Structure 1
């Protein structure tokens, strides 16, 4: 548990909040809705994944708001509904805590700002605010534009090793969940359904997932600057940094 996390509950309305009170003083339910920011003309962009992620500029900060949605066949039925088994075991709270932990370990991951769940009976819905990563793009967009050099791929490998050294499993380590900023630093994002795990047997699966996504994007995009030798550079960085 991070020292700065504050928890507040509005039990009557079924809302539970966790937040960094150095970044937001008093979160409320309205601020977790896109309409709240649209009315203030503070939305600067959006990205579509399973749900819609919106980018917000507020009081000199740039925030990312993600609404938790299910993927796959289950998502077509339940969409954004999850079974409530405890506040701390909700997906927004778990991701907030995991980001706090990784930040404390020095990993380049988004800064958690606030999360909330809204519970009704046995069902909850949830959202998460993080700070935007300045001057960055995901590897998919980067590689559609130009190649990464060997040193940059080496740093991708080192970033994955740093995550594994903290025993953190990434549920979907694909090219869209790895960011590179203008200083060529590598960031990892989207830690929904991720967790700390014991042992090492699962780590190769994370690496295999990334390699599959690189092959997939290479086949799908007319221009995608990636080749097998880049993977060798990535794995060199990983092997030299992993403990």
Structure 2
């Protein structure tokens, strides 16, 4: 038990697919990783097994962070077993796209709850332990949509823009505890969701990006790994846009 507590670990919410999966695989090179998933246990187990094959450790926990009680249970479970985390990475999120003038209230509330309320509940649940250790980092996965509007994503854009303000404010509140808080705002990333884009539409998307390609999950995960490292010890309160020049 003592060895488990002493080994640095990180939490990644929504770590069973897409960017979240990439974060788990990359961060497992340096840390023990606990990641959450909402419903697909088979997908989560596949990520655990992939990390094990790499020689790392990863543990999947089913948790809906938008439920404050579930977030508290997650924190209690993890803190009792591993101690305070080195980092909390808030990656879980959903989209419910539609024009604002006709957007159902449920679509607005679902996205606010999953993308923003969950960040509050999960981060708040772990912060006291991290402050007690006077070390650590909080990382928020925002989006280029926070700085460059996208039709049909008023709800999503609102949550991702809110993360930039949250990162700045929480960075000020936790600096005295030696905790750093930053956000990453990825642009168009080549995930499994992008696989379903017709080739002609994909080519048009790439044409609109100055670097003429989609970003990779590995590039996003690599930036996250850097921001959690000692090399980034003087970076806090920032939102780093990673979009191939799309928002330039």
Asked if Structure 1 and Structure 2 have the same fold, meaning a TM-score greater than 0.5 normalized by the shorter chain, the answer is no
Normalised by the size of structure 2, how large is the TM-score? 0.27
Normalised by the size of structure 1, how large is the TM-score? 0.27
Q: Which has the higher helix share?
A: 2
Q: Which of these two proteins has the greater Rg computed from alpha carbons?
A: 1
